[in-house]
Amino acid sequence: MGKIINGKEIAKDIKEEIKEYILKRKEKGFRSPKIVSILVGNDGGSIYYINNQEKVAISLGCNFEKLLLNEEISEEDLIKEIELLNDNKDVDGIILQLPLPKSFNEKKIINIISPKKDIDCLTYINQGKLYCGEKTFIPCTPNSIINILERSNIELEGKNVVVIGRSNIVGKPVSQLLLNKNSTVTICHSKTRNLKEICKSADIIVVAIGKPKFLNEEYVNSNSIIIDVGTSAVNGKITGDADFDKISDIVKMITPVPGGVGALTTTLLIKNTCEALENNEN
């Protein structure tokens, strides 16, 4: 069997780094970082996600506030709430749970968030910096992928990496991050021809298309490193885009689902908040 990359263990290491950072601040009499997570409406999945954010943040010594707004709130009032948070010097990171109700201009509202507090890299300003190779907050899922690779001592420079999926959330930003690491990146999608052949020649495959068990033994070889970003519900279980049971015995390394990429995302959101605090103090 190929090596199973344990995302929980990697997350644990990052959590210890964050704890130490916040503890040292407290010992010097400085305040802890603070996140405000905004939810419009009462979507069950978003509530679960916010509660998990709160749990992780508090466990690391980070202050956390949930701003739960009625779905009847006007766009104007939502913008005012975000602007108040932008002006609040005690708030370092702002998270806006998406999608917003259909009546809202989502792109407009996202870009009301101060780029200095946009810890999930949703604003056009921060996304522009990301694609220009400038310093900015790294979106959490792509950042999880890079952390998993680097903390597993996987060399990225010069490696052939295939990214399956071209979403603005994962595919495009992780491709840019990999380019910044001097990887040779091929972005594939639903219209790509000869996908199996392209994947078989890759050193690393990042699969993020939302099709459970899509990546099977026909796409991989014995030296393949598989980073599975998929999280689909199948028969009540969270399932990845790679057919783990079929390929884990074949490939060199693979991330499980759950317990892989998703195990790091919230932790890295807290790390971005620590970075925001430092940036705003300097």
Residue numbers belonging to the annotated binding site for NADP(+): 165-167, 231
Q: What is the largest CA-CA distance in the chain?
A: 59
What DSSP character marks residue 270? H
Q: At which residue do the structure tokens 């870009």 appear? A: 111
Give the whole-angstrom CA distance, residue 183 versus residue 142. Answer: 15
Cis (ω within 30 of 0) for the bond into 256?
Answer: no
Quote the radius of gyration of the chain (alpha carbons, Å).
Answer: 19
Other Cβ atoms within 10 Å of 108 Cβ, number: 10
Contacts of 247-251 with C-beta under 8 Å, sequence gap 24+, read 247/215, 247/216, 247/217, 247/220, 248/1, 248/2, 248/4, 249/1, 249/2, 250/2, 250/217, 250/220, 250/221, 250/222, 250/224, 251/2, 251/220, 251/221, 251/222, 251/223, 251/224, 251/225, 251/226
What is the C-alpha to C-alpha distance for residues 156 and 88, in angstroms, rounded to an integer? 40
Q: How many residues can be counted in the chain?
A: 282
Which residues make up each annotated binding site? 165-167, 231
SS3 content of the chain, % helix, strand, coil (to 5): 40, 15, 40
Structure tokens at 91: 């708030």
**What is the SS3 assignment for 64?**
strand
Q: How far apart are CA 96 and CA 17, in angstroms?
A: 25
